[in-house]
Amino acid sequence: MTKPLYFDCHATTPVAAAVVQAMAPYWSECFGNPAGASVWGWEAEAAVEQARAAVAAAIGARPSEIIFTSGATEANNLAIKGVAEAGLARGRHLVTVTTEHSAVLAPCAYLERLGFTVDYLPVDGEGQIDLTQLAAVLRPDTVLVSIMAANNEIGVLHPLAEIGALCRERGIWFHTDAAQAIGKISLSVETLPIDLLSLTAHKCYGPKGIGALYVRTGTPLASQLHGGGQEHDRRSGTLNVPLIVGMAQALTLAIADLPHESPRLATLRDRLWAQLTAALPDLVLNGSGTNRLPHNLNFSVPGLNGNALVAALRPYLAVSSGSACAAGRPSHVLQALGRSPALANASLRFGLGKFHQADDIDRAAAVVIDAVQKLR
């Protein structure tokens, strides 16, 4: 079976050959438990600490500020529940945005059930927040603000420096989910006022099931996984050495490639949009024309049944309609932009990757144009 052309890099990416190679010795040769007290353990521990230093360097952090997790879902849960619990003396109020990933919205909803109050900021028609509105909802009992670096559906970038500054002035901790941003835009916690930052490896050519939470020194955090006390008692569980090594390699490569790969992807994405709109001028762009991830394109096709469109494209193109994590439901992100359920349904999300060249873009554009013209 010929597989469709893959354009779903916000869902996941293939593991880079160099990453597979870096992980290889840690499955069955250097298989020790990093907590073990023998040369087997020391060797594994050395690999983990080297990886920790590399992950820290990728975001301008100190190695001691990195906690390995099973991905961004766990990192978000640890950040939100961990700070909420540790900051109980300060209050029970949190702030986030309606367009966040479910890995932020669900822990917030969980805390609401425990008696916390959460303000969900609205977004404008392009998916951007209003900083004046953010400032207005911050209270003396606000413990945490959680706002993503880049949206996974529409790629919109949030103003981290300004959000962090508002939080810092008031002594509020600021968490950002950088699952989609890492390796695509430059991000440094050395210069940005971010207290906690979630990472995952599988969106930037690393393995699935591994991520990390950056926690700025001095930020209070209550562990959410209790057990053997690994990660300085902040996240118990035997460390997954091969995946940790793979994550470090993937992030190191992604950061090194960023200066040339991000503009290359943006050029390809703009080529795709130009071809699509030349043939189909009524397409509606979802998100901002300029303030978005370089590899993201999301648009709605007016007057079409979304399911029919997705079915027509499926044999040729692997794209997402809304978020991969919420397949089948009208996107809460597109609805937050003010799109009708019909337009939200008839939307396509392209996530470009490093394996794409101009001819892939031209084929993808031709497939979409043909499908839309036939369905109309």
Ligand X SMILES: Cc1ncc(COP(=O)(O)O)c(C=O)c1O
Active site residues: 325
13 makes contact with ligand X (CB under 6 A)? no
200 binds ligand X (CB under 6 A): yes
Residue 45 or 320 having the CB closest to ligand X = 320
Looking only at the bridges linking them, the beta strands covering 211-215 and 66-69 are antiparallel
Applying CB under 6 A, the span of 80-88, 177-185, 236-244, 291-299 interacting with ligand X comes to 177-185
Question: Closest distance between ligand X and the C-beta of residue 200, in Å?
Answer: 3
Residue 342 burial by Cβ neighbours in a 10 Å radius (0-12, 13-18, 19+):
middle
List helix spans (H) across 200-240: 230-233
State whether the Cα torsion 331-337-341-343 is positive or negative.
Answer: negative
Min dist CB 179 to ligand X, Å, is 4
Under the binding rule (CB under 6 A), the answer on residue 97 touching ligand X is no
Query: Of 75, 46, 77, 76, nearest to 63 (Cα)?
Result: 46
Q: Taking contact as CB under 6 A, which single stretch among the options 128-136, 174-182, 255-263, 338-346 is the one that binds ligand X? A: 174-182
Task: Tell me the two tokens of residue 107.
Answer: 């822990």
Does position 337 interact with ligand X (CB under 6 A)? The reply is no
Q: In this structure, how many other beta carbons lie within 10 angstroms of the beta carbon of residue 256? A: 12
304 torsion bin: left (phi>0), alpha (psi -120 to 50), beta (else): beta
Interacting residues of 64 by C-beta distance below 8 A, sequence separation 6+: 217, 232
Task: Out of 56, 66, 67, 73, point to the residue binding ligand X (CB under 6 A).
Answer: 73
Q: Does 72 bind ligand X (CB under 6 A)?
A: yes
Q: Which stretch binds ligand X (CB under 6 A): 67-75, 276-284, 304-312, 314-322?
A: 67-75
Binding of residue 351 to ligand X (CB under 6 A): no
Which residue, 151 or 219, is less far from ligand X as judged by CB?
Answer: 151
Residue whose CB is less far from ligand X, 32 or 71: 71
Q: Which is nearer to ligand X, 71 or 330 (CB)?
A: 71
Handedness of CA 327, 125, 292, 312 (dihedral sign): positive
Q: Which is nearer to ligand X, 73 or 286 (CB)?
A: 73
176 Cβ neighbours under 8 A, 6+ residues apart: 146, 147, 148, 149, 158, 160, 163, 194, 196, 197, 198
Give residue 43's identity as a one-letter amino acid code. Answer: E
Q: How many CB atoms lie within 10 A of CB 373?
A: 10
Q: Which stretch binds ligand X (CB under 6 A): 160-168, 173-181, 227-235, 269-277?
A: 173-181
> Is 148 an interacting residue with respect to ligand X (CB under 6 A)?
yes
Give the one residue of 142, 146, 176, 180 binding ligand X; rule: CB under 6 A. Answer: 180
* Interacting positions 291-330 with ligand X (CB under 6 A): 325
Cβ nearer to ligand X, comparing 197 with 365: 197
Binding residues for ligand X, how many (CB under 6 A)? 13
The binding site for ligand X (CB under 6 A) comprises: 71-73, 101, 103, 148, 152, 177, 179-180, 200, 211, 325
